[in-house]
Amino acid sequence: NTYFPTYTTYTLLNFRPTARTDFRKRMASQIDRAVYQVATQLERAVDEELERLDNLNDSDIEMIRKKRIAELKKKAEEKRRWAAEGHGYLQTLADQKAFYDMVNRSQRMVACFARPAAPVTDLLRQHLEKMAASHQETRFVFIDAENSPALCEHLKIWMLPSLVLIVDKRTDHTMQGLDEVSTTGSFSTWELERVLFNHNVINTHVLEEQEKENRRGKHAYDDE
């Protein structure tokens, strides 16, 4: 049997590239419209906020000032409370009892289990000391894993060093080793900060922001 393409088949074959082109144009047009709509909504929101600020009276400004002062006082009080509780530096815990005591007294805690004599431990301690000073909202502690085998077994720690991340008195995540930060063993403190931030055990990423600012400053200096 001989197959004779119909006119419809020829039409599909001949115009398929044109159809693809038309489809791409339609998609591009739809994307452009969507981007325009989002930009318009953002512009409208900015205009409304500017108008609201322009229309503030003395009473509104005083209310905003009082609210800001209250926020600053609350943050200052939190920092005093955290400092009194031992936040702000890397604490070394002696035993399992001390560990559970810290867990019960902390909303957020990062517990490092390591061998003090291991080469990587000194470097990790330096990173954690910097983290503790920059993130007083979280308690940072160090435990000698060799002196706490029962605790390591209870927490299912099978690799050293490990970081146990505790939120609201519960183990939220355990970083077995440091591969989540770097597979080479070399990393900056802000890279560790980013991982802990992603696990919600710290509130901000101030060190990463400082790193970005330093890079911007360096690039500006190089351009001069």
pLDDT tens digits for range 88-136 = 899 999 989 999 999 999 999 999 999 999 989 999 999 999 999 999 9
pTM for the whole structure:
0.66
SS3 letters for the chain?
CCCCCCHHHHHHHHHHHHHHHHHHHHHHHHHHHHHHHHHHHHHHHHHHHHHHHHCCCHHHHHHHHHHHHHHHHHHHHHHHHHHHCCCCCEEEECCHHHHHHHHHCCCEEEEEEECCCCHHHHHHHHHHHHHHHHCCCCEEEEEEHHHCHHHHHHCCCCCCCEEEEEECCEEEEEEECCCCCCCCCCCCHHHHHHHHHHCCCCCCCHHHHHHHHHHHHHHHHHHC
Check whether 60 has a pLDDT greater than 90: no
Check whether 22 has a pLDDT greater than 50: yes
Check whether 8 has a pLDDT greater than 60: no
